[in-house]
Amino acid sequence: MIDIYIIRHGAAVDFEHEIVEEGFRYLSHKGRTKTDEVAAKLKNLHIQFDLILSSPLVRAVQTAEIFASALKYKGEVKTAIELIGGSTFSRFQQLLKRNQHGKSIAIVCHAPDVNHYAVNLLKHSDIKDLKVNFSNSSVCRIRYDRKNEIGKFIWFLKSDTMELIEP
């Protein structure tokens, strides 16, 4: 069993004249502040990560680093090309299989992939559709049985209200 924390990156700056590529968008001040707040909530819940995997895009790496700092994560924030956006669930599962060490893994990536991955991890669960809005910096915790590929919904932290949704 592994706890998987699917995290949508924090709010990024809009395209401006100096930012012409999607991959260069960085966290806005509001995005940093909200991500700090969500990370502090996870710290208060005594959450620890054994591994943090992030999309290599700037805003995702910055989000991952904020969580790492707040939770006193000792490891390296690793990037994975599979998390850049648009990967299939099969490629996501391969990424998980390659990173099977540890009991708690954070995955920092983008919409709509966050919802796609969460729904597919829970497809054999009693929750057929994850009816939550992955707003920026939101976190979904799923307990995943790697052997049987069955996920169980544990909770969802809505970043806009800081409400913890449990089954």
pTM given for the model: 0.94
Q: What is the mean pLDDT of residues 141-149?
A: 91
Residue % of the chain over a pLDDT of 90:
77
> How is the chain split into domains, by residue range?
2-165
pLDDT over 80 at 135, yes or no: yes
Q: What is the mean pLDDT of residues 127-141?
A: 81
Superfamily of domain 2-165 in the CATH hierarchy? Phosphoglycerate mutase-like (3.40.50.1240)
pLDDT over 60 at 129, yes or no: no
Please give the Cα distance from 11 to 167 (Å, whole number): 27
Cα 40 versus chain centre, distance: 15
